[in-house]
Amino acid sequence: MSACSTCHGGGRIWDSTDHEPWAMHIISDVDAEDYWEAWMRKGRGQDLGALMDPLDYERSLYQCPECGRLLVESQDDPGSFYLFVPENEGGPIVTGPAAGDRWRHFLSGRFDPNDPGFARMGPGCVIEHTGKNWEHSYFETLDETKRYFFKRLEELRQGDLLESAVLSEFGKATYRWDHDDAEPVQEKWELYLSESEMAAVSDFRARHGMCKWYYPYPGDGPFSYEIIPSSAGLEFRKFRVTCRYCGAFVESDDGEISRGAPCREMLPKSKRRYAVPIEEFRGDDNG
């Protein structure tokens, strides 16, 4: 097989950001149960005991989208890779996300004529991540860039296909939208809350914004909501919201609001699962 222009045939492929469609993680079958149990222990704030940190079970795997070569990380030497070449060429290689065409896209636009990186292609650029690839559109003026950005944003929002969007002009973000920050449909548990309880829950969720990024089951989210009998008896109500990532909670015992500290500290930055740029920081990671 000849060298391709992506991995160059030498076992090199680029991984410069999150949600790369050709980047994957693998776990051996014999480790799978321990992997999930370790994540559940972390979510409950329990000690891992004899288990490893969940991230230590994973190895990175990359597939070249052009030639199909697999680069599998060495278990004994993390950061180095074994190269596997497919016997058959052609056909689909990288399959993309499990959600397929319903995977929510990431949209970003920027206009900066002083950015040398866009000098040859145009000062305006709109990038859309579809889950399978990155689509780039280039423009000569700010108006053209904004017109296309907001047109595409509305199309994706109408189809419930947008996860987040950001627009920057001359190096400064001027517009942001995030699916999680959009006005949610009222959940049943919210019907039980007073104004003071709603304020306490809103503050709690904001303070644990980073837990949302590091929680291992993003589809479920890190917060659990429960209504339990009060210490004063069954005719009274106790409402509690718990962060399943760090163990902290806020509760209202018949209107008396109290808070519980995290069961453990957040993961050190060197072991965090996702790299979150400071401009995307949502809330703080203090209990």
pLDDT in tens, 219-233: 567 888 877 665 544
Residue 287 maps to a domain: no
Residue 237 maps to a domain: yes
Are 70 and 115 found together in one domain?
Answer: no
Q: Are 60 and 25 in contact (CB under 8 A)?
A: yes
Q: For residue 217, give both structure tokens.
A: 């089951």
Are 19 and 58 found together in one domain?
Answer: yes
Q: Are 286 and 237 in contact (CB under 8 A)?
A: no
Last residue of a domain, one of 146, 181, 216: 181
Are 89 and 115 found together in one domain?
Answer: no
pLDDT, tens digit, 9 for 90 and up, residues 31-61: 988 988 888 887 777 788 889 988 888 888 8
Residue 285 maps to a domain: no
Q: For residue 69, give both structure tokens.
A: 């070569």
Are 207 and 269 found together in one domain?
Answer: yes
Domain hosting 86: range is 1-95
Q: What is the mean pLDDT of the chain?
A: 77
Single-letter code of the amino acid located at 82? Y
Last residue of a domain, one of 181, 214, 235: 181
Are 220 and 271 found together in one domain?
Answer: yes
Asked whether the predicted pLDDT for residue 153 surpasses 90, the reply is yes
Asked whether the predicted pLDDT for residue 283 surpasses 50, the reply is no
Last residue of a domain, one of 166, 181, 196: 181
pLDDT, tens digit, 9 for 90 and up, residues 91-129: 556 667 878 888 899 999 999 888 766 656 778 999 999
Are 90 and 144 found together in one domain?
Answer: no
Is 252 or 68 the better-scoring residue by pLDDT? 252
Sheet with strand 23-26: strands edge to edge: 23-26, 59-63, 70-73, 81-84
Are 48 and 118 found together in one domain?
Answer: no
For residue 112, count CB atoms less than 10 angstroms from its CB and return exposed for 0-12, middle for 13-18, buried for 19 or more.
Answer: middle
Are 168 and 197 found together in one domain?
Answer: no
Residue 134 maps to a domain: yes
Are 209 and 164 found together in one domain?
Answer: no
In the three-class reduction of DSSP (H, G, I as helix; E, B as strand; rest coil), residue 180 is classed as helix
Q: For residue 137, what pLDDT is reported?
A: 93
Distance CA 147, CA 227 (A): 47
Distance CA 36, CA 31 (A): 9
Are 173 and 87 found together in one domain?
Answer: no
Indicate the range of 84-88, 139-143, 238-242 predicted with least confidence.
Answer: 84-88
| Kind plus residue range of the DSSP H or E element containing 142 | helix 142-158
Alpha carbon distances (Å) from 261 to 105, 204, 271? 35, 11, 22
Number of domains, the chain: 3
Distance CA 98, CA 76 (A): 30
Task: Give the pairing of strands 105-111 and 162-169.
Answer: parallel
Are 162 and 210 found together in one domain?
Answer: no
Length of the chain equals 287
Residue 1 maps to a domain: yes
Are 240 and 174 found together in one domain?
Answer: no
Distance CA 39, CA 36 (A): 5
Residue 270 maps to a domain: yes
Sheet with strand 249-253: strands edge to edge: 223-230, 233-243, 249-253, 256-260
pLDDT, tens digit, 9 for 90 and up, residues 244-271: 878 888 988 878 899 887 765 554 555 4
